[in-house]
A and B are shown apart, each in its own frame.
Chain A
Amino acid sequence: MKRSTTIVSLSLLALGLGLGLAPPASAQDDGGSFSGRIVLGFRSVDVDGADRKYREDVNLSDGPRLMDLDLDLTPTGTVRSFVDRIQLDVNDVGASSFETVRLAVDKFGRFGFSYDRWESAYFYEDLILPHELANVRLSSGGDFHHFDFERVRDRAKLDVTLSPRAELNFGFDRFAKRGESTTTLDVSRDEFEVHKPIDEERFEYQAGFQYAWDKVTLIIDERYSEYQNAYSIFLPGFSEGESLPPANLTSLDFFFLDQPYDYESFAHTVRVVARPTRDWIIRASGTLQELSLDLSAAERSQGTLFTGVPFTTDLVGSGGIDRDAELFDLDLTYVINDRFAVIGGFYTRSLDQAGAFTFGGTRNAGAWDIETSGVEAGLEVNLAADLTVSGGMRIESRDVSFSTVEAGSPLADEDESTDHDGFFATLAWRPSRLYGLTLDYETDSFDDPFTLASPTDRSRIRARGQLNLDNGVWGSASFLLTEMENDNSGWDAETQQLLLRAGYRADRFDASLGWSSIELDRFAAFAVPAIPTLPARDYTAESDFIDALLRYRVSDALTLGGELRRYENDGSFALERDDYRLFGEYRQASGLLYRLSYRTIDYAEGAFDFDDYDAEIIDFGVGLSW
């Protein structure tokens, strides 16, 4: 109801503005303008096959919606004294899984206000093996984690210019996630699928002040955020679990666990940007963050252990976690002249976190201390107007220490230090706006990486070329090779990607064709002593993407077009997805417009067919533009 009201209100507002206020031409003689577009429509979706996979992959739904609302107003006369420009951009409000709203109001040099809203649905219910191949003992019966929730984010910003030297800014950010999910619970050698409602919300409030002297600017930024998560999992009634008697006697009559938590956090930032001369930019920044989390929990359960012995639990607990973080940066840019610039930076970060939680009389605790320091220095040389060469090096040291206490006894107490050296170089050749070439190379070396799958060596080489001819022909090509390896464990990962695109753009015609190939290889052969039969982890994904677009403006009134997106993945997990779309838009001289599109998606997995689906999506819209 609320959503329908929003659609109707926005639509009527836009129609009224469009029909009543729109000038015959978008630009008025006195510098003002008012242009806009509103399209209302209906989407029809027909899915044949695995609807759950369609919802996970595409998730466009049936129903009426406000497809598009764009307003762009540059007022004149007295209104202009207060506002220079108003922009509203609304997409897909109504029966949709992805909605966006943006409003911006600006009076240049006085204030700028913006409001954004993003609303999206997330669905996940995936099967990995067909039921007949599932094996509970191997825990391969599927992924019991299902999600069906909505994310909403509202963000507003207000910048107030007090004078050319002084500015105040305020921000508000809200993020909420609500819906349903299921997860698993391991009880006495058995797995139970349990409900896990999702209900969390975060607010952030920000206020800042900036003052610019002739050579120094001071920026102060204060942020306060609070977060609540009503975390709970429950099994409302009897379940024998995944392993059935007589192999496993474990069962649950009921299980309830509430562990809501909330935290509040403050972040204080002071930043100074100094320009003692035009050639120097010095930036120093310091941020202190404090976070304090409160946690409580209550568990009630009743059931039977795998031995057949009944059990009950009725436990409560509470605890908290405190975290302090400090971030300091010092950056220097020295522009010697048009040809040379020296860039350097030094940074430190520290995180200090400690928490304890007592549950059912048992105390658990964990503490972390991470100290990171790094230096980067580089030189940028413009050898000629069309040739830039830059390069530099960086080093970073990170010390990590953490300790955990389980049931009152120390479980882990470790210190890890990782040192990192890196070198980077870029060559950019841009002889004109019509074409150019960029080559960049990075290499990094890490001592004592944190995990067996963290690199000891990493390198990336990338080449990009672009062409944009005056006659409308354009093209681009790129190649990327990334290699990572851990000399100690034998883990390595490689990515190769090639992209070729070409197109032609003219007054009435727009066409493009692209092909991208991505090959991922990840390999870990080291033994896992507890599982002597475990094979090497040898993963490959070879993906090819082909996309094509053809848009032809047949006349001033009629535009027709089509799109193709084809995706094929071979390797460890084969799948194909063909996505085709035809669309047309007819616009009358009065501004009335009609839009129709037909899209078909064919998704097929290689190993099994229980996730395959075909979908047909038809969109019809009627609107007005001016």
Chain B
Amino acid sequence: MERRFLKLMAGGLLGLAATLAVGLGSAPAATAQDDEPLDSSVCAACHDDQVAAFTSNPHSLLNDPDWGAAGVEGGSCVSCHAGAAAHVDEGGGEGNIFAFGDDASPAARSQACQECHADTHPRFRGSEHAQAGVTCTTCHQIHQPGHSAVSLLRSGPMTATDPAEAIGAASSVCASCHGDVFARFQWNERHRLQEGILACTSCHDPHERATRARLGGFKQDACMECHTDKGGPFIFEHASARAEGCVACHDPHGSPNRHMLAFQGVAELCFSCHATVPGFHSRFNLDTVCTNCHTSIHGSNFDPFFLK
């Protein structure tokens, strides 16, 4: 294992050196923090709607002098929109102000938010979302109150027509890109996302790296928040569940099969791992429901074969 780490470190250092050689030749990004302070009332002369909307928005704090003293300088608008002074001097227009538009790279757009929010989401740049060019403003809207006062989530396309299927705001935003995953919640065996009693963010953190690295370090930790009894600990653990996690047997988004199992038949699933079984199992076949005898299949305190 140590040799593997050494190899990776050597490769990483070489890559880093090459990156630095290329990257340091480029000019560093200008940020709004470099700008002179500008009272937002100046901006309101033209952008009165946006400035007014900030009254029910946590970013209105940026106008608070107490917060300005803590490092957020320049008032609410200039904190995010670099080049505001030039924009004012030139009487408005595009191209002279950082407006989170298509001309700015995704990294630059997210970096503007990270100036203040890096403490909250320090690993965002390593997330699959950032890798795919998704920025903070893809999911969050800054100038409108949004679904939620604090997280300022955008509205997604999956608006509910029946409160019984009230997809929460967070999941609705996710569905606007992850329609393929949302389709899996249409299966008859599924987590109840459509009914609104859990959200994508119940298990996933969109600001973090891939799920497998996030689920609390041990793969089933997120599942145990609701399925606590399945997590034990037990004297006799189902080894695959302990080592490989719940997804060794279950499809968490949804499945055509009972209990969201990976196979329709319980025996099909069990025999896809268990090639060694006692001889008296010779009478069984793929219609057998193994859990009729191995009833405590997630773990047992009595029996190593989960019979009780």
Contacts and interface: CB of A to CB of B under 8 A. Distances in A.
B46 interface: no
- The 6 A-B pairs with the shortest beta carbon distances in the complex, nearest first, are A428-B133, A164-B70, A336-B23, A516-B183, A340-B23, A382-B105
B104 A214 contact: no
A145 B291 contact: yes
24 contacts: A74-B56, A91-B164, A98-B164, A142-B289, A295-B301, A335-B111, A341-B125, A349-B218, A357-B235, A364-B304, A375-B9, A377-B12, A380-B125, A382-B106, A388-B131, A395-B5, A397-B1, A404-B235, A516-B179, A529-B276, A537-B263, A561-B161, A567-B188, A573-B256
Given A177-B229, A531-B281, A547-B186, A385 B149 contact: no
Contacts of B283: 137-138
Contacts of B177: 464, 466, 476
Interface in A316-368: 319, 321, 323, 325, 327, 331, 333, 335-345, 347, 349, 351, 353, 355-357, 359, 364-366, 368
Contact of A573 (B19, B20, B105, B264): B264
Residue among B126, B228, B258 facing the most chain A CB atoms (10 A cut-off): B126
Nearest to B34: A278
Main secondary structure on chain B at its contact with chain A?
A: loop
B286 interface: yes
Interface string A442-456: 000000001111100
A139 B1 contact: no
A608 interface: no
Contacts of A257: 308
B268 A537 contact: yes
B271 A151 contact: no
B162 A619 contact: yes
A422 B107 CA distance: 24
Contacts of B23: 336-337, 339-340
Contact of B235 (A100, A263, A365): A365
Interface in A525-562: 526-535, 537, 539, 541, 543, 545, 547, 549, 551, 561
B188 A575 contact: yes
A382 B107 contact: yes
Contacts of A575: 188, 256
A191 interface: yes
A583 B162 contact: yes
A22 to B, nearest CB: 17
Given A175-B226, A273-B122, A370-B218, 15 more contacts: A98-B164, A109-B66, A129-B287, A139-B293, A210-B119, A295-B301, A323-B233, A331-B126, A375-B5, A380-B125, A388-B107, A411-B304, A438-B133, A466-B177, A534-B271
A175 B304 contact: no
A586 B188 CA distance: 32
B102 A539 contact: no
Contacts of A319: 235, 301
Contacts of B44: none
In which size bucket is the chain B interface? 35 or more
B287 A140 contact: yes
Given A273-B122, A397-B4, A428 B106 contact: yes
A599 B279 CA distance: 52
A430 interface: yes
Interface string B191-229: 010011110000000000100010011100000011011
Contacts of A476: 177, 179
Interface stretch (A4-12, A179-187, A246-254, A303-311): A179-187
A128 interface: yes
A593 to B, nearest CB: 13
A118 interface: yes
Residue among A210, A388, A411, A563 facing the most chain B CB atoms (10 A cut-off): A388
A440 B132 contact: yes
A171 interface: no
Given A112-B150, A397-B1, A377 B164 contact: no
Given A137-B283, A426-B131, A450 B56 contact: no
Contact of A386 (B102, B111, B233, B242): B102
B188 A577 contact: yes
Contacts of A583: 161-162
A522 B272 contact: yes
A612 B2 CA distance: 58
Contacts of B77: none
A126 B188 contact: no
A530 B277 contact: yes
A149 B129 CA distance: 37
A47 interface: no
Given A382-B105, A531-B284, A545-B186, A98 B55 contact: no
A609 interface: no
A165 interface: yes
Contacts of A126: 258
A378 B262 CA distance: 32
Contacts of B16: 342
A295 B236 CA distance: 13
B64 interface: yes
Contacts of B4: 395, 397, 419, 421
